[in-house]
Each structure stands twice: as C-alpha cells, then as structure tokens.
Amino acid sequence: MSTMPVGGLVPRATDTAADLIVRNAKIHTGDPARPQAEAIAIRDGVITAVGDDMDIAPRVGPHTKVVDALGRRMVPGLNDAHLHVIRGGLNYVLELRWDGVPTLRQGLAMLREQAARTPKGQWVRVVGGWSAEQFAERRLPTVAELNAAAPDTPVFVLHLYQAAVLNRAALKAAGFGRDTPDPKGGQIVRGRHGEPTGMLLAAPSALVLYSTLAKAPVLEGEDKKNSTRHFLRELNRFGLTSAIDAAGGFQNFPDNYSTVVELAAAGQLSLRIAYHLFPQTAGQEIDDLARWTEIASPDDGDEWLRLNGAGENLTWAAADFENFAEPRPQLGDYEAEFEKAVRLLMENGWGFRLHATYDETIRRDLAVFEKLAAEGLFPAGNRWLFDHAETVSADSLDRIVALGGAMSVQNRLSFQGEAFVRRYGPGAAADAPPIRAMLDRGTTVAAGTDATRVSSYNPWVALHWLITGRTVGDLVVRPPHNRVDRRTALSMFTEAGASLTGEEDVKGVLKPGFLGDLAVLSEDYFAVPEPDIAHIESLLTVVGGRIVYASAEYDGLDEELPPISPAWSPVAHFGGYQALARTSGAGARQAELLGQAVAESEQHRQWRVRRGMAAEAESAAGGFIDPCFSL
C-alpha cells in the first residue's frame, strides 16, 4: 500500500509528482464545489489535486508514496478551537488518564499498579478527562480507597472544577495540616479534630485544586519535549491536525512556551498550534499586555506555530468560574481595568478570546465593548470571541454579532451536565449553550474540548455531544432543537476553527491550494450509529503531507518517536485515552430507543405541566396518572 503501483497508477517522471497520494477513500472534502471525492494528492505540504484515480494519476512519480484507504471515510483534519495543548503537553506523561475508563474499579486498579512503579518523591496524578458519571459506580473514589491503593505514594485525583481527592501521603507532600488555612474561594474538608480529610472543594474557585497540583514534581529538560511530542501523537490518534491553545493558569509566557517553540524550530511538531497569551498575575495584567503588544503581533509565526492574540483571561477579576456544583460566582467591580485591557489590545491590532460561562458576565463585558464601539474600536477587524457561554441569552448573542464577535463552544457539559441539571434544572440545561441560536445568527461558531483538566481531549466525544446532546453518563441534556447534524458538527471542528485563526483560506477544507491535513477514520462518521461516534479514531493522520499517525493496516508508515521518558510514566504502561468497544448492536439500540422514549415522555409531561394539565409533583411519583386506568 506504500510506494506500490495500485490500480493502474504507474509511476512516471513528472514535475508535478506528489509526495503523497491517498486513494480509494470516501472523501468528505467540505468544499461545496466538490463535496465528495475518492483520491487526494499532496506536494510540499499542499493539496494539488482532489478527485478520482484519473485526476491524480498524472501526479504519481517514482518517489510518490501511494496509500490505499481501503474504502474508508476521509475527512479534513480536525481543529480543536479550545485546547490547553501547551500545558497538557508539558504534563502528559506524568498523568494517569481515566479518559474512557468505564468503571471506578478499573480506575483504582490502574492507580494501584501505577503507585507500585512510581519512584519515591513522585506523585500519581489523575487530572481531568473523566467524570464520576461515566463510571458504572457513579461515584468518586474515597480517601480510604486511595490510601489502600497507595499507602506511601502521594496520589492526587482531580474531578472536574469541583473537587480533588488526596491520599494521606499527598496531604503530607502538599504540606496540608490542621493549621493550614482555607484558601480564598476554596475549602479544605476537615475531620472532627480539624485535620484535613483529603477532600478539597472548589467553592467556587478551582485555585485550591490547581495550586495543590502545582506542588507536584514537574518534568525537566528533554523530558518536556518528549512528553509534548507524545501528547501531540496522542491527539493525532484522533485525527487532530490543528489546535488553538487557550493558554490558562500556570502557563507563563515565554517560559512555558519554549518547548513548543523548540520543537517547531526542529520541525518536530505534528500538530499546528495557534496560541494565546494569558496574564498570570493579578494586578499586573495591563503591564503584561502592554509589554507583549510591543514585542509581538498576532499572526507572528507560520502555519505550524503562530500567535493568535490574548486571553482566555485579560484580567483576573473579570473571570467567572464554572463549578456547576456551586452557585454562580458574584464578581466585584472589574470594568475599569477590563476596559483598559480591551482598549490596549484593540488599539494595537490584537484579537482576544474571553472565558465567560454566564450571561451575567457576558452582559457586563459587552457593555464595555459597546462603550469602546462608540469610539470606533468595535468592530475593527480584530478577531475576538467568547468561550464557553453556557447561559448566554438571545439578546447578548445579538449584541455579540453587532460587535463582530465569534463564539467557541466546548463539551464541558459532556462531563458536568448532571451537575448543571441538578443546579439549574433541565430547562436551562436544554440551551446550555444555545448552539443552534448561535448558528442561526450567522456568526462563526467553532468547537473544542477545553481539555485536559476537565474534559477529555478526544474530539469524537465532543462531536458525539454536539450531535446527540448526551453526557458521558448517557443523560440527554440538550433536546433535538438545540443539536446539530453531523456535517455541521464536523464543520465546527474544521472550517470554523480555521476562521478563528484567520486561516479559513488555507485549511479546514480538502481542496487544491489548501494545506494537506486529513484523517482516514476507523469508522464512517456519516454512517455509524450515534453511540459509536464517540468511539471513532483515526487510522491515518496526515499534516502537511506528513504521515504523523498510522495504525491498523498502516502501522509503521508514521514517524518514529523516541521512547516515553521517564520509563515509569503511566502513559508508557497504560497509554492515553482508554478506547472502548463499539456500543451499537441490537441490545444497545433497544436501550437507546428506550432512553429516547423516556426523554420524549418527560418532554410530554413538561408540556402538560406548562398548560396546567398536570402537577409538577407528578414526576416524583413516576409520572401523571392516565384517567383511562384510574379507579
């Protein structure tokens, strides 16, 4: 299948010879002018031909690598529009991933095994990508279970933005004792004598969780490059070819960016990264932003590594928290400093992105933008957007569109949907976020994961959520009116992401002149049953004509990576995302239909309640009583 003449494609000397040809594929191009094709040719990192064998035959040269897709589905390479890829890469090989693990029992077994191989002084850390709702047991591990699994090795288990569970050794390593004060916005749960129990709660700020995690040992030197390269390969495994790094806490510029800069200089990135800069120190944000605008400009770099603007925070005081197990945080007065930050960026041609979970925050931000719009600073051609926006209102969406803004949504409710429903109710959850309302207004709506500390980095879990409205615990959160079809969801992970970085003319679509970024999938995304969307992987991922990931029949065609270091790394033994078997089949389909029937029954009950035909309390009793069966 490699460099071998296939189906009459005879090598010939030509000045237009491709470096790589992938043929015999079911190609979804994303190009309205030619939406379907069977073959694609790439030369010097750029697509030169899309069509059938006849179209690409003249591109076969003596050194062209020809790969047979064996009739599989090919799509444009995926682009995660909100991924903490730089921070994730620096920590990847240190983390035990529970992404995709179906039972807590299995997770604890993995933890126990990892603790046995972890050297003295190191921690076992489970950081993001999972929810208690995905486990058959539907619960967190207890402190006692962590102590039993790892009596002497520090263990830190982070659960969403809500809590962390530490064993006895981790409490000691982190320096927590009876006299340790509760941090602002957080709580150290204590026993009857004041000793920390091992539970940390975000109340509502997650700073207590992340500041504790920051006390664990970090990688040094070449290990940081090794970790990042293996993390990028793991992302390539799912067909990701680009990501927009949303920066975040504990990601200092330029120090924590140096690893990806060095890898880019060495030609060792396998994922295109557009990055943001995030002021780290409260009270120093304006000084940091002013310094950055003097030394750099958005779009500095190339197609592999480029600056995209500021954010996702501009000032710390303006950031709300998204711990849906807690009430919405009440922010103080932040507008004065926030206005200075936005003005500085807009006057210097910098775009930005803003973390904003709640409409209350978005409305306050928009008031600042509208004040600056009166001076001509909005819309001014700078790319800017709101991230998350789970409770954004229709009025706020209209104001965002008027100011030239875009939206970026993430599947945080894949993992926190149950908590959101418990706090705000199913009605609010149905429009969290209001994706269809965003799209209907014609604004750019890109999709991402917000991995790695809450959501999983697997984009197919996010695509499954966009299409089905279901959490990883299989709760239907968003009804049909707020879901999207498969083509729209895919475009949110391809074309829309390219638009957020000003690259819509060079990537996100498979057409001549665009970058040669593609994925050949394990299953046909457009044909598999909905439950199986989350289980799709890429078998062949190509970035700029380079095969950066290959498995199954294509194993060995990708670039070789050095072994994972350190050797005791959890990733070296368990890998990353824990792939599960397909869930479709007669029994699973029956369960799915039953679940849909239950959901439709609940919608019907709510319809009756709204019209005074049934009491709200009837749901607690199992539903309304049909008069046909009453005595």
CATH architecture of 236-507: Alpha-Beta Barrel (3.20)
pLDDT, position 607: 46
Give the closest residue to 284 by CA, choosing from 257, 315, 253. 315
Give the closest residue to 426 by CA, choosing from 616, 215, 178, 631. 616
For 9-18, 455-464, 475-484, 588-597, which range has the lowest pLDDT when averaged over its residues? 588-597
What DSSP line would sit under 223-254, residue for residue?
A: HHHHHHHHHHHHHHTTTEEEEEE---TT--TT
Q: Is 126 within 8 Å of 289 (Cβ atoms)? A: no
The predicted-structure confidence for 403-457, as pLDDT tens digits, reads as follows 999 999 999 999 999 999 999 999 999 999 999 999 999 999 999 999 999 899 9
Percent of the chain past pLDDT 90, that is, above it, reads: 86
Residue 106 has pLDDT above 90, yes or no: yes
CB atoms near residue 612 (< 10 Å): 7
Tell me which residue has tokens 């790969």.
67
Residue ranges covered by each domain of the chain: 92-214, 236-507
pLDDT, position 588: 47
pLDDT, position 587: 47
pTM of the model: 0.91
| Arithmetic mean of pLDDT, 122-129 | 97
Residue 223 has pLDDT above 60, yes or no: yes
Residue 270 has pLDDT above 90, yes or no: yes
Q: Which residues pair with 521 in a beta bridge?
A: 538
Instruction: Give dist(CA 325, CA 342) in Å, integer.
Output: 31
User: Which three-class secondary structure state does DSSP give residue 52?
Assistant: coil
| Arithmetic mean of pLDDT, 592-604 | 45
Q: Is 138 within 8 Å of 132 (Cβ atoms)? A: yes
User: Which three-class secondary structure state does DSSP give residue 419?
Assistant: helix
Instruction: Give dist(CA 26, CA 304) in Å, integer.
Output: 27
Strands across the sheet containing 78-83: 78-83, 240-245, 272-277, 305-310, 352-356, 384-388, 406-410, 445-448
What is the identity of the amino acid at 281? T
pLDDT, position 470: 98
Residue 135 has pLDDT above 70, yes or no: yes
Residue 5 has pLDDT above 50, yes or no: no
Which residues, in sequence order, are CB contacts of 82 under 8 Å at separation 6+? 244, 246, 312, 353, 387, 408, 410, 446, 448, 449, 450
Tell me which residue has tokens 């959101």.
420
Q: Give Cα 445 distance to the centre of its chain.
A: 14
What is the identity of the amino acid at 132? A
Please enumerate, as own/partner, the contacts of 258-267 that have beta carbons within 8 Å and a separation of 24 or more.
259/86, 259/89, 259/90, 259/224, 259/225, 259/228, 260/86, 260/89, 260/228, 260/305, 261/305, 262/225, 263/225, 263/228, 263/229, 264/301, 264/304, 264/305
Percent of the chain past pLDDT 70, that is, above it, reads: 90
pLDDT, position 609: 56
Residue 599 has pLDDT above 60, yes or no: no
| Arithmetic mean of pLDDT, 362-386 | 96
Which residues, in sequence order, are CB contacts of 210 under 8 Å at separation 6+? 249, 250, 453
pLDDT, position 8: 61
Residue 293 has pLDDT above 80, yes or no: yes
Instruction: Give dist(CA 492, CA 80) in Å, integer.
Output: 9
For residue 233, CA distances in Å to 268, 273, 560 come to 11, 14, 10
Q: For all residues of the chain together, what is the average pLDDT?
A: 92
The dihedral region occupied by 14, where left means phi > 0, alpha psi between -120 and 50, and beta the remainder, is beta
Q: Is 246 within 8 Å of 409 (Cβ atoms)? A: no
| Arithmetic mean of pLDDT, 106-129 | 97
pLDDT band at 597 (very low <50, low <70, confident <90, very high): very low
CATH architecture of 92-214: Roll (3.10)
Q: What are phi and psi of 557, to 5 degrees?
A: -80, -15
pLDDT band at 468 (very low <50, low <70, confident <90, very high): very high
Q: Helix, strand, coil % (nearest 5) of the chain?
A: 35, 20, 45
pLDDT, position 612: 57
Which residues, in sequence order, are CB contacts of 212 under 8 Å at separation 6+? 156, 164, 166, 174, 200
pLDDT band at 579 (very low <50, low <70, confident <90, very high): confident
Residue 622 has pLDDT above 80, yes or no: no
pLDDT, position 613: 53
pLDDT, position 584: 58
Q: Give Cα 4 distance to the centre of its chain.
A: 38
Cis amide bond preceding 459, omega within 30: no
Pull the structure tokens for residue 292. 């950055």
Pull the structure tokens for residue 630. 């009453």
How are beta strands 20-23 and 65-68 bridged, if at all? parallel
Please enumerate, as own/partner, the contacts of 585-590 that have beta carbons within 8 Å and a separation of 24 or more.
588/531, 589/529
Instruction: Give dist(CA 461, CA 471) in Å, integer.
Output: 9
Residue 615 has pLDDT above 70, yes or no: no
Instruction: Give dist(CA 400, CA 379) in Å, integer.
Output: 10
Name which residue leads in pLDDT, 161 or 303: 303
| Arithmetic mean of pLDDT, 339-355 | 97
Instruction: Give dist(CA 379, CA 130) in Å, integer.
Output: 39
pLDDT, position 61: 94
Q: Give first-to-last CA distance, the chain, whole Å.
A: 72
